[in-house]
């Protein structure tokens, strides 16, 4: 095979869902690994349901995932002249004919075929009439009446279709618009697509498409039909299983590299490895390791993998996406020199960026709101002395750093005989408002001396007021 050319042809009738994203990913990875070409084609011939908003949403999702395309986007609605030209080619070569049977007549043919135990199909009434072009006429493909059509599939193996069970399907409607199976074959031929990786719901379309390729006298592409993505109940993935839109996961705080990693593992494997970087996927992806079993989408596993990717990411990588989540909460971190240190302190504790933003609020807040139970338990009269002593020591430090702060704590423990936890927990609540946070020395260094002193003094006043 010459240069590998793959394609992703979404219909713009809604958002890009995770099943479609996986199909795009498989085609993109295969093209990237083999230094091939990845084409984006918008199949918008369903004009009643196709919208520009859906087109824009597909672009937005692909760009967020980082699935760039080398050609396109092509739009089927702008290619009708090409389809008409190819219809004419089949008419002239004897591989197609015009048909004036009405939809009602065709339905009667199908009912009669079923009544006699056959497949519901068109009976070929107009096959040999050689009808001229006329109003209301459709164009049908003259399918072979005997023999078999074989789909050689790199995932599923060979699948054999008996030609006598197929019918002379319509390739051009009475208004001149192409049907799905005809348009995609013409597109793939004229765009040089030679590798088609798609969901196995397209298997039943493939024998018709193979017959069209042969009628045009062009080589067949490599076909790989991958199993569908199912919900945990083994039903086809739908909204009742959770979000199915790619951008919904972005908005929930997932990283694109985590979603890509998870989607590729829904049907493909490389030994027992679960965690992959984008570059590793490009280097390792192949068609041989695509499995035949359906992938089961599990949000909990995706979240666990997202946590791993957050933990592995350089803090600088997370600044831009985290900024948006904090902005939603009224926090502007642009230009704040502490941001990367904040991220580093929270990356091992965050499953999503939205969760990280929630945990990061105390770093940037002007005032701390105490969790009621945490304040009741730790901001007590017994905490007054250690908090006051810590404030005095912090204020007197010549070199304010994490190491210096740690030294202050150990000095207080040695002087007072109080266990470290008895000092650290009231301080943690004073600084963050809650009982769980990153390491106390680390957060004190990040928050900064002035804010630490302000929060310690506020906590002292809170205890005094409560006692009073």
- Catalytic machinery residues: 239
Residue 113, helix vs strand vs coil: helix
What's phi and psi for 319, nearest 5 deg? Answer: -60, -50
Q: What sign does the dihedral 458-459-465-468 (CA atoms) show?
A: negative
Residue 199, helix vs strand vs coil: strand
Tokens of 309: 């990717």
Burial category of 3 from C-beta neighbours within 10 Å (exposed 0-12, middle 13-18, buried 19 and up): exposed
Measure Cα distances from 1 to 196, 221, 226, 447 in Å.
13, 10, 21, 60
Residue 11, helix vs strand vs coil: coil
Cis peptide before 363 (omega within 30 of 0): no
How far the first Cα of the chain sits from its last, in Å, is 84
Measure Cα distances from 235 to 202, 241, 397 in Å.
18, 9, 63
Tokens of 424: 């650290």
CA 336/CA 413 separation, integer angstroms: 34
CA 284/CA 280 separation, integer angstroms: 6
* Lookup result for tokens 């972005």: 250
* Lookup result for tokens 């994490």: 402
Across 84-98, b (16+ Cβ under 10 Å) vs e yields eebbeebbeeebbbb
CA 186/CA 184 separation, integer angstroms: 5
**Packed helices 256-264 and 18-33: angle between N→C axes, nearest 10 degrees:** 90
CA 273/CA 218 separation, integer angstroms: 40
Measure Cα distances from 424 to 344, 365, 379, 405 in Å.
21, 20, 11, 12
Residues whose CB is less than 8 angstroms from the CB of residue 84 and which lie 6 or more positions away in sequence, other chains included: 172, 176
> Contact 225/203 with Cβ under 8 angstroms?
yes
CA dihedral in degrees (208, 179, 183, 60; nearest 10)?
A: -120
Find residue 197's DSSP bridge partners.
224
């Amino acid at each position: 095979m010459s240069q590998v050319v793959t394609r992703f042809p979404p219909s713009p009738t809604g958002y890009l869902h995770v099943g479609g994203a996986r199909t795009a990913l498989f085609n993109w990875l295969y093209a990237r690994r083999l230094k091939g070409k990845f084409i984006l084609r918008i199949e918008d011939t369903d004009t009643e349901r196709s919208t520009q908003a859906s087109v824009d949403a597909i672009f937005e999702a692909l760009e967020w995932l980082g699935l760039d395309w080398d050609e396109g986007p092509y739009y089927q609605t702008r290619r009708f002249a090409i389809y008409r030209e190819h219809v004419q080619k089949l008419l002239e070569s004897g591989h197609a004919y015009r048909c004036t049977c009405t939809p009602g007549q065709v339905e009667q043919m199908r009912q009669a075929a079923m009544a006699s135990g056959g497949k519901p199909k068109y009976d070929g009434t107009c096959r040999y009439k050689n009808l001229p072009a006329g109003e209301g006429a459709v164009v049908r493909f003259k399918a072979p009446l005997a023999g078999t059509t074989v789909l050689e599939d790199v995932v599923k193996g060979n699948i054999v279709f008996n030609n006598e069970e197929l019918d002379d399907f319509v390739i051009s409607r009475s208004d001149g618009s192409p049907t799905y199976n005809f348009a995609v074959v013409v597109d793939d031929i004229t765009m040089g697509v030679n590798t088609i990786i798609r969901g196995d719901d397209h298997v039943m379309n493939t024998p018709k498409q193979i017959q069209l390729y042969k009628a045009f006298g062009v080589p067949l592409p490599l076909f790989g039909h991958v199993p569908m993505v199912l919900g945990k109940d083994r039903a086809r993935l739908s909204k009742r299983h959770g979000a199915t839109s790619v951008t919904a996961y972005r908005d929930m705080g997932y990283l694109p590299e985590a979603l890509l990693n998870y989607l590729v593992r829904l049907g493909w494997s490389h030994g027992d490895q679960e965690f992959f970087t984008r570059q590793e996927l490009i280097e390792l992806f192949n068609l041989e390791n695509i499995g035949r079993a359906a992938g089961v989408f599990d949000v909990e596993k995706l979240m666990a993998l997202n946590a791993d990717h957050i933990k592995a990411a350089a803090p600088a990588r997370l600044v831009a996406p985290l900024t948006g989540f904090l902005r939603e909460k009224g926090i502007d971190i642009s230009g704040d020199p502490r941001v990367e240190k904040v991220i580093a302190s929270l990356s091992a504790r965050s499953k999503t960026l939205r969760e990280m933003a929630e945990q990061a609020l105390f770093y940037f807040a002007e005032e701390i709101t105490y969790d009621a139970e945490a304040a009741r338990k730790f901001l007590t009269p017994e905490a007054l002395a250690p908090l006051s002593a810590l404030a005095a020591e912090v204020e007197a430090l010549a070199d304010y750093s994490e190491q210096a702060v740690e030294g202050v704590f150990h000095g207080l423990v040695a002087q007072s005989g109080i266990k470290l936890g008895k000092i650290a927990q009231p301080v943690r609540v004073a600084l963050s408002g809650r009982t769980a946070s990153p390491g106390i020395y680390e957060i004190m260094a990040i928050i900064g001396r002035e804010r630490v002193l302000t929060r310690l003094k506020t906590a002292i006043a809170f205890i005094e007021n409560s006692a009073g």
